[in-house]
Structure 1
Amino acid sequence: MGFPGTWMTESESMVYRVVPKCACSTIGQIMHYSDHGRFFDGDIHDATEGLHKWALEASKPRIEANVTEHKSFAFSFVRNPYNRILSSFFDKIAGIQRNGQRYRGNLVPQLAQKYGIEVEGDFDQIAMFRRFLLFARDTIRFRKPMDPDIHWSSMSGHISTFIVNGGRYDRIFWTEQFNDGMQAVLDAVETPVPVDLGEIPRFNESAGHGPKMAHKVEEFFDDLSMHLTYEIYKRDFDLFRYDFENPGNKMPVGEIDLDEVHAKLGR
């Protein structure tokens, strides 16, 4: 299976396991800059040079050799599950993508038909999100009406493939404390080009795709929605120390235990 979703600088200064909807655009651009002294012109997800990616055939042997021998600092970032699933809805379901189309072509019409999700015009954001949450649960728990999409499949699922196939993380950070986490990465490695994190812009490639969120996070989650979210993301809440009881609290409530993460996700 190898190391899907893994990016590595060409200098092999650092290895990053991408978790969608967790600041991956900014992290990828920082990695690119740290080698080349410039940002990739465009969405870093589209880059086919300047960064090793598991999706690029020429990069696979380099990544595999590095990760299996743990030659470089390996890290990932995670995000509060409530905020992440909301972001997925507004970006991927309610939003228009870079190509001017709906995400995955016929996905939104299919959702409208099967789950009554309507995202045209001035729609009821809370009601439509809750219907989407039911759809997301069905894709993850039952793989129906389709396999789960990477943008709303569990973070622990993404994180685990790296461990199962022989990798080991040095740190896992929270996007809610992005600057602290990314600075810790930069402090732990030597890069060809120095990076001043204070000068780095944020590359939120999904910004502007969808409508503006009209309510507070906690207003989207009634008791049933909270329990659906916990059903989907129990391991994410538990392993990465997020607060299930309060959707309005996006901050972690404890420290991530890396040994526990490797033990529970490495099976």
Structure 2
Amino acid sequence: MGFPGTWMTESQSVVYRVVPKCACSTIGQIMHYSDHGRYFDGDIHDAKDGLHKWALDESKEPIREVMAAGQTYAFTCVRNPYTRILSSFFDKICGVQRNGKRYRGNLVPMLIQNYGIEVGGKDGQQEFDQIKSFRRFLLFARDTIRWRRPMDPDIHWSASSGHVSTFVTNGGRYDKIFWTEAFNDGMQDVLNNIDTKHDVDLTKVPRFNESADHGPKRAHPVEDYFDDLSMHLVYEIYKRDFELFKYDFENPANKKPIGEIDLDEVHIKLGD
């Protein structure tokens, strides 16, 4: 039994299933602060201590034991598929990463050559046709998810429901799934249900790992990037995300959910 993408506080107060591009940096820092009274100095994804992570060998057994006991509060956070895939494009494809290099080495040159996208030059700051390039990236994302070519899908644009489901299929159960679009309300509900060594004031939490710092700024409203074909592709990729997490497929301009998440439905449909 494994729990990939799972983080847990060292005090074992709470378990979190990471979903990329869904405020995971901020959530990880809040978990770190709740145990240690300070934020991790750097990107929380680089932390090798202060937080249990399934990717760390020494963390696997503590996480396994807590999950077997089934008593620890578990949660995750999701995001509107339209804004999530847009964020992935501007951050991971157009942006220069924090190590000063392009994401995944030759990925961007391959996209430029094979899909004809532009990324705003070497630094991602030059003007380019964002809408045309994004729609071509969307074709690439669909190809990776539908046919696993020219590569396997990347965690930053594979469906949120896929990340959420591994926790369920391996025996976990969520006590809370909340939306990034109502982050403070959802995160506060989590904090209200767990015992922390240090109190967290969400109104004073800094913003961590903002993707806008990595790439060009979005020049148009969200809905301008999605014509009828793009919406069809998004629904093909993220149908389960729209349905389970209650987002509005019909209107890309509406990033807010249109219903309440039914945890029983999530566990039934993702537990198959």
Q: Quickly name the TM-score band, shorter chain normalised.
A: over 0.9
Deviation at 1:114, TM superposition (A): 1.0
Q: Deviations over 1:52-99 (max 9, x none)?
A: 000000000111111132121100000000000000000000000001
Q: Deviations over 1:207-232 (max 9, x none)?
A: 31000000000000000000100000
Pairing 1:30–2:35 present = no
Pairing 1:161–2:166 present = yes
Residue in structure 2 matched with residue 246 of structure 1 by the alignment = 251
Instruction: Give the counterpart of 2:187 among 173, 182, 191.
Output: 182
Pairing 1:97–2:97 present = yes
Residue in structure 2 matched with residue 73 of structure 1 by the alignment = 73
Pairing 1:216–2:221 present = yes
Q: Which moved more, 1:199-208 or 1:39-48?
A: 199-208
Deviation at 1:196, TM superposition (A): 1.4
Residue in structure 2 matched with residue 263 of structure 1 by the alignment = 268
Instruction: Kindly report the root-mean-square deviation, in angstroms, between the aligned alpha carbons of the 2 structures.
Output: 0.8
Q: Percent identity?
A: 75
Instruction: Give the counterpart of 2:157 among 138, 152, 159.
Output: 152
**Conserved? CA contact 1:13–1:189, under 8 Å:** yes
Instruction: Give the counterpart of 2:139 among 134, 137, 149.
Output: 134
Instruction: Give the counterpart of 2:203 among 192, 198, 214.
Output: 198
Q: Name the aligned partner's letter for residue 211 of structure 1.
A: P
TM-score (norm 2): 0.97
Question: CA separation in 2, counterparts of 1:84 and 1:194?
Answer: 30
Instruction: Give the counterpart of 1:226 among 231, 254, 257.
Output: 231
Secondary structure of 2:213 counterpart: coil
Question: CA separation in 1, counterparts of 2:175 and 2:226?
Answer: 34
Q: Name the aligned partner's letter for residue 16 of structure 1.
A: Y
Q: Name the aligned partner's letter for residue 106 of structure 1.
A: N
Q: Name the aligned partner's letter for residue 86 of structure 2.
A: L
- State the 4+ residue runs in structure 1 displaced beyond 6 angstroms: none
**Conserved? CA contact 2:235–2:249, under 8 Å:** yes
Deviation at 1:204, TM superposition (A): 2.9
Question: CA separation in 2, counterparts of 1:51 and 1:206?
Answer: 23
Question: CA separation in 1, counterparts of 2:218 and 2:238?
Answer: 22
Unaligned runs of 5+ in 1: none
**Conserved? CA contact 2:168–2:271, under 8 Å:** yes
Q: Deviations over 1:5-46 (max 9, x none)?
A: 000000000000000000000000000000000000000000
Unaligned runs of 5+ in 2: none
**Conserved? CA contact 1:43–1:205, under 8 Å:** no
Secondary structure of 2:16 counterpart: strand
Secondary structure of 2:152 counterpart: coil
Residue in structure 1 matched with residue 178 of structure 2 by the alignment = 173
TM-score (norm 1): 0.99
Question: CA separation in 1, counterparts of 2:194 and 2:81?
Answer: 29
Q: Name the aligned partner's letter for residue 190 of structure 2.
A: V
Secondary structure of 1:207 counterpart: helix
**Conserved? CA contact 2:159–2:238, under 8 Å:** yes
Deviation at 1:205, TM superposition (A): 4.1
